[in-house]
């Protein structure tokens, strides 16, 4: 059995999956913030419960929002104060007597999708999250590419490419990002970026769902706004494709529910790729909020290259 934990600031969600990657049981508890021991004990209690239910010791994978493990073996996650700065993987592995694997929640999202039955034939899968921020992950042969610092897939912190300035205007404000830089694409392609662009061009404050609703009613300004946004999305994604050349892109996050993006991105990408490049398959994520714990559970899966 495969146990997958999706740990956030408010809840710890556990999903248990069988050998066929089917969900067999799930539960959640509040995330302890008062002490590290209580944090570890909450995880151990859930694992013990699952072991008793299924009569065996399952593998344990964890997805967290942050840096899973530094060179010193420490986890860093701002919304997990009881565990941040602690050797979570080492300590939990010792308590449970089994190998615990930890990865970033965006990598777990991408991994969950890469192991979907309809997608698992693709060797290189790129998960792209268009939500509160912009992020994602790269999966090669069924395993996440974490990189030197666990920041592979932090697509949102790439700067606007020169083609983006042609679309938005060379006088577009280069917004200061939470990372400390200016002009990161996260501030323009995220859900809040989608709304910021509307405010910038039309001097009206609307949230993304309101703009999309207007687009669905054939509002001329909303049509122009979505056209501009999808042009911007295409030039930014094209740069990623030239580096990564994935076989499949899976879109997640709140904006991915706007199904027009999938078709528009597929249609607009060829103009920005190398002449020999073929546009990868582009799909919406299949597993929604369950992706975090699914992907965490599948950190223990391996795929043959044959």
Q: Are residues 160 and 154 in contact, defined by beta-carbon separation less than 8 angstroms?
A: no
133 is in an annotated binding site: yes
6 is in an annotated binding site: yes
97 is in an annotated binding site: no
177 is in an annotated binding site: yes
295 is in an annotated binding site: no
135 is in an annotated binding site: yes
11 is in an annotated binding site: yes
108 is in an annotated binding site: no
157 is in an annotated binding site: yes
223 is in an annotated binding site: no
158 is in an annotated binding site: no
DSSP letter at 67?
A: B
139 is in an annotated binding site: yes
136 is in an annotated binding site: yes
DSSP string, 116-181: STTTTT-SEEEEEEESSSEEEEEEETTEE---SSS-TT-GGGSBPPHHHHHHH-TT---PBPTTS-
Neighbours of 50 (CB within 10 A): 22
268 is in an annotated binding site: no
- E strand spans, the chain: 2-7, 11-17, 23-30, 59-64, 100-104, 124-130, 134-140, 143-144, 248-252, 281-284
How far is it, in rounded angstroms, from Cα 156 to Cα 174?
14
Q: Which residue has tokens 């509002």?
A: 219
- 130: closest CA among 245, 289, 271, 250? 250
231 is in an annotated binding site: no
Task: Write out the binding residues.
Answer: 4-11, 133-140, 157, 177, 179, 184
Task: Write out the binding residues for Zn(2+).
Answer: 157, 177, 179, 184
Task: Write out the binding residues for ATP.
Answer: 4-11, 133-140
């Amino acid at each position: 059995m495969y146990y997958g934990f999706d740990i956030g600031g408010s809840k710890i969600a556990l999903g248990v999956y069988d050998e066929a990657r089917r969900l067999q049981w799930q539960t959640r508890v509040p995330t302890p913030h008062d002490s590290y021991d209580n944090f570890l004990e909450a995880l151990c209690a859930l694992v013990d419960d699952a072991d008793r239910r299924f009569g065996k010791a399952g593998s344990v994978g964890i997805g967290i929002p942050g840096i899973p493990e530094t060179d010193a073996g420490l986890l860093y996650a701002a919304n997990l104060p009881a565990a941040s700065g602690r050797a979570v993987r080492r300590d939990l592995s010792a308590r449970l007597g089994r190998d615990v694997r930890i990865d970033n929640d965006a990598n777990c999202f991408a991994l969950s999708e890469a192991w979907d039955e309809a997608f698992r034939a693709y060797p290189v899968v790129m998960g792209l999250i268009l939500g509160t921020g912009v992020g994602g992950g790269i999966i090669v042969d069924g395993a996440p590419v974490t990189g030197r610092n666990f920041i592979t897939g932090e697509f949102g912190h790439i700067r606007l490419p020169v083609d983006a300035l042609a679309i938005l205007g060379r006088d577009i404000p280069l917004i200061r990002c939470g990372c400390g830089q200016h002009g990161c694409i996260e501030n323009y392609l995220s859900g809040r970026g989608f709304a910021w662009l509307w405010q910038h061009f039309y001097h009206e404050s609307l949230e993304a769902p309101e703009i999309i609703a207007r687009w669905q009613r054939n509002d001329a300004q909303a049509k122009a706004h979505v056209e501009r946004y999808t042009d911007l999305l295409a030039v930014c994604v094209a740069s990623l494709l030239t580096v990564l050349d994935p076989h499949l892109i899976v879109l997640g996050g709140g904006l991915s529910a706007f199904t027009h993006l999938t078709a528009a991105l597929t249609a607009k990408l060829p103009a920005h790729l190398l002449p020999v490049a073929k546009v990868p398959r582009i799909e919406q994520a299949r597993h929604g909020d369950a992706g975090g714990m699914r992907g965490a559970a599948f950190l223990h899966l391996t795929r043959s290259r044959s």
